[in-house]
């Protein structure tokens, strides 16, 4: 499946939600600046630290960006592009396709999101739905509008083709997402915030398993969560550990999908 001498592909992906999660959750949050600041931490503090970390380890990766975020955080978008990372679509707002009224509604959102990135000269080929919650129409809409990959499904540890389309799936999973481990629910106060060592233990063990299977390891990270200083230390140690394995290929999702398509054709 992989290029010569490669045993496992690794994509350290980031979903640059900024304020969009809280705006989609409740439009009234537009008038709650401290609530929105949860997300603003992403572009304001976390992204520059993440860019430094990626540069130290010469890793290029993919940032999934809602169109609305691209329109309000242009400087951040330009910094990501200047650093050589891939930009891909993460909805226009943070409303998942599964919650949209119709296929037409979903298509409008998708094209508006793509156009927001085209404003920066980016012809996006990748798509990750907000909350990975696609509709029954999503894959065919991606196929119709020039996308080459989706990163939303949890039914494999290797890339695969969606039937009857040109769309490659780059599978994800909740255990490899920072949000379920670090998210704090301020409404209930019920959920414990994980320590970095607990999360590193899970990620390391899952990496070893996927490496043995010769699969694809996709981390789904959120600047507002992984970007806290103690978690960035953990991420950096994790990158160093993974990089020490022979035959590991750190790549953008676009590169991985292009390789999978080239092998299949
Ligand atoms: Zn998101």
Predicted local distance difference test score (pLDDT) of residue 107? 98
Per-residue pLDDT of the chain in tens (265 residues, 90 and over written 9): 899 999 999 999 999 999 999 999 999 999 999 999 999 999 999 999 999 999 999 999 999 999 999 999 999 999 999 999 999 999 999 999 999 999 999 999 999 999 999 999 999 999 999 999 999 999 999 999 999 999 999 999 999 999 999 999 999 999 999 999 999 877 788 888 999 999 999 999 999 999 999 999 999 999 999 999 999 999 999 999 999 999 999 999 999 999 999 998 7
**For residue 17, how far is its CA from the centre of ligand 1 (angstroms)?**
5
For tokens 């043995």, the residue is 212
**For residue 21, how far is its CA from the centre of ligand 1 (angstroms)?**
7
**For residue 263, how far is its CA from the centre of ligand 1 (angstroms)?**
30
The whole model's pTM is what? 0.97
**For residue 65, how far is its CA from the centre of ligand 1 (angstroms)?**
8
For residues 44 and 93, the answer to whether their CB atoms sit within 8 Å is no
Please give the helix or strand (H or E) that residue 30 lies within, else none.
none
**For residue 59, how far is its CA from the centre of ligand 1 (angstroms)?**
22
For residues 85 and 60, the answer to whether their CB atoms sit within 8 Å is yes
**For residue 248, how far is its CA from the centre of ligand 1 (angstroms)?**
27
Nearest to 172 by CA among 95, 77, 62: 62
**Cα dihedral across residues 87, 222, 206, 95: positive or negative:** negative
Q: Dump pLDDT digits (tens) for 188-211.
A: 888 889 999 999 999 999 999 999
**For residue 94, how far is its CA from the centre of ligand 1 (angstroms)?**
6
């Amino acid at each position: 499946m992989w290029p010569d001498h490669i045993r496992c592909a690794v994509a350290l992906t980031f979903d640059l939600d900024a304020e969009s999660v809280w705006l989609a959750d409740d439009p009234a949050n537009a008038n709650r600046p401290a609530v929105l600041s949860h997300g603003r931490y992403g572009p304001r503090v976390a992204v520059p630290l993440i860019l430094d970390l990626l540069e130290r380890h010469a890793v290029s990766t993919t940032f999934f960006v809602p169109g609305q975020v691209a329109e309000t955080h242009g400087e951040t978008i330009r910094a990501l592009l200047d650093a050589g990372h891939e930009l891909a679509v993460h909805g226009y707002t943070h409303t998942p396709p599964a919650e949209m009224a119709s296929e037409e509604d979903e298509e409008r959102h998708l094209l508006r999101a793509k156009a927001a990135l085209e404003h920066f000269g980016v012809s996006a080929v990748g798509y990750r739905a907000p909350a990975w919650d696609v509709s029954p129409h999503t894959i065919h809409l991606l196929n119709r509008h020039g996308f080459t990959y989706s990163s939303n499904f949890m039914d494999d540890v290797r890339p695969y083709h969606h039937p009857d389309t040109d769309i490659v799936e780059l599978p994800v999973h909740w255990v490899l997402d920072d949000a379920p481990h670090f998210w704090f629910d301020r409404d209930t106060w019920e959920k414990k915030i994980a320590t970095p060592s607990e999360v590193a233990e899970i990620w390391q063990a899952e990496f070893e398993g996927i490496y043995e299977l010769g699969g694809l390891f996709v981390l789904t990270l959120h600047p507002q969560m992984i970007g806290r200083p103690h978690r960035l230390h953990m991420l950096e140690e994790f990158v160093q550990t993974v990089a020490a394995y022979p035959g590991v290929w750190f790549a953008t999702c676009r590169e991985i999908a292009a390789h999978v398509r080239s092998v299949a054709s």
